[in-house]
A and B are shown apart, each in its own frame.
Chain A
Amino acid sequence: MLPPLIRLQSVTKRFGDGPPVLDRVSLDVCAGEFVSLIGPSGCGKSTLLRLLSGLTPPTSGTLTLDGKPAGVTDDLAYVFQDATLLPWLRVAANVETLLRLRRVPAAERLRRRVAALDLVRLSDKVNAYPRQLSGGQRMRVSLARALALEPRLLLLDEPFGALDEMTRDHLGEELLAIRERQRWTALFVTHSVAEAVFLSSRILILSAHPGRIAHDVTVDLPFPRNHQTRRDPAYLSLVGEVSVRLRDVETDGRTTAAA
């Protein structure tokens, strides 16, 4: 059997002298999984992504990516909650930014940029500046910038959180369609249960103070999924189940805090 792509062993993270944001979290994620992280605020779901991306080191425990210590690597791309495009660059240059930092030759940059913009269906906006795009389009450019890295692991930190529900649903469907063509593994932080169930093969429900994995839910809905899936009774019952568990986690958190 293949070793897991991501392995966390008893990872604890605290900032300064504060209480642990993540408390002895252990987790294996296999290649090809789409894992959503959901939980009350303060449960450390974004911190988990930052640890994996090497932006901040763990206080204790080990994180490995493909058997190697996690850190800044070429195999990983990060999508932020806001699009974080550079407003002074056109779409083309924005998509190429990270490739340029890695000194990828121009011809290869061009090939990957064209492919990535094609994936997010924004090839016609290649010469636009970010301010000329809608919120959803900006997020798609941001996604294209991550995909242009041809990553094995995609870390998404509430990427659709600031968008309206229609745009959010569309982008979710597009994300899955892209994944049919490019097999990356995803860790996806979200506040939306419906979004988590729709996108994921697995959902981790985290509890807060301290952050721990409270539930590990397998989503055994078949891929490919599309807008029909949202009416599937199995989908709906999973949304219900995850919602109840999430609520339990949040209530527990409050009881503990009160005690």
Chain B
Amino acid sequence: MNSRLLRWLLPLVLAALFIGGWQLIHNSLSPSRRFLLPDFARLATAFREHGPELARAARYTAAAALAGFALAAGVAIASSLLLASSRFIHTALYPYLMGLQMVPVIIVAPILILWVGPGAPSVIIVTFLISFFPLVVNTTQGLLSVDRSQVDLFRMGQASWLQEMFLLRVPAALPYFFTGLRISAILAPIGALTADYLVGSTSGGRSGLGITALLFSARNEIPALYATAIVGCLLGFALVSIVSGLAWLALHSWHDSYSPSEK
């Protein structure tokens, strides 16, 4: 069988197995406990019933995730450039940036609500806190991981600080940056969802998937909860796909990780 066909077929086979297994577990449960794992017909109904509501919440969470993610990327790029430009700044600043990641979001949430109030700004701040760290760590590492002799080459070429940074260090750091971006792309939607749960606004029509899940849970609507979880997953996949696409655009022509397989 050719490998192209296999690449399409394997995930499909796996999906069929997964759905079959799900259905099997559903049927093996005693009828009074089947609500724990609704069957697919029920899931489909949940999607139909709550479709508009889920779509609105998903849009809201997606926007918050994107905003927090973009903010994290922007701040991470700026701070990485700063960290990589001087050992002194690196030593002084690094522990505090690490501290940002250690902020226990659950505890900060009520404080954030007091400061900023519930709603989008708070959600974006929490998303930022959750997705910032992998970006800054990887990007800084990349900026500092330039081959020693390439730096010598630039020094001998009388390169200015700006030239060394932007013609050498920044392109060399791109693969590291995208590694961080990929991790953050997974974290950002989870972050936005959790943030919504913790500091989201409950006022009509401006809530995301977190608040929506909270409401479904309070109303004991299990199939709708499953549907919300699936939508959350899809958001994550969408963002990761976008980032993978960007990484491909930036790296595929030259980076070893995209070199054609040797046959």
Q: Which residues from chain B contact A54 at a C-beta distance below 8 Å?
A: 156
Q: Considering residues B154, B155, B156, B254, which has the most beta carbons from chain A within 10 angstroms of its beta carbon?
A: B156
B interface bracket (residues with beta carbon within 8 Å of A): 20 to 34
Assembly CA distance A61 to B195 (angstroms):
66
- A3 lies within 8 A of chain B by Cβ: no
- B150 lies within 8 A of chain A by Cβ: yes
Report if A86-B158 is in contact (Cβ < 8 Å); known contacts: A80-B152, A131-B259: no
- A47 lies within 8 A of chain B by Cβ: no
Q: Which residues from chain B contact A97 at a C-beta distance below 8 Å?
A: 153, 157, 167
Shortest Cβ gap from A36 to chain B (Å)? 21
Residue from A78, A81, A129, A130 in contact with B153 in the complex, judged by beta carbons closer than 8 Å: A78
Q: Which residues from chain A contact B172 at a C-beta distance below 8 Å?
A: 86, 88
Shortest Cβ gap from B161 to chain A (Å)? 12
- B221 lies within 8 A of chain A by Cβ: no
Q: Which residues from chain B contact A86 at a C-beta distance below 8 Å?
A: 150, 168, 171-172
- A72 lies within 8 A of chain B by Cβ: yes
- Residue on A nearest B150 in the bound complex, by CB: A84
B259 near A101 (CB under 8 angstroms)? no
Chain A, 82-107, contact with B by CB distance < 8 Å: what is the 0/1 string? 10101111000000011011100000
Q: Which residues from chain B contact A129 at a C-beta distance below 8 Å?
A: 253-254
- B159 lies within 8 A of chain A by Cβ: yes
B residues sitting closer than 8 Å to A (CB atoms) are 147, 149-150, 152-159, 163, 167-168, 171-172, 174, 253-256, 259
A-B contact pairs, 30 of them (CB 8 A): A54-B156, A72-B155, A78-B152, A78-B153, A78-B156, A80-B149, A80-B152, A80-B153, A81-B149, A84-B147, A84-B149, A84-B150, A84-B153, A86-B150, A87-B256, A88-B171, A88-B254, A88-B255, A97-B157, A101-B154, A101-B157, A101-B158, A101-B163, A102-B157, A102-B158, A129-B253, A130-B254, A131-B254, A131-B255, A131-B259
A78-B153, A88-B255, A131-B259 known; 11 new pairs, CB 8 Å cut-off, are A54-B156, A55-B152, A55-B155, A72-B156, A72-B158, A81-B149, A86-B171, A86-B172, A88-B174, A101-B157, A130-B254
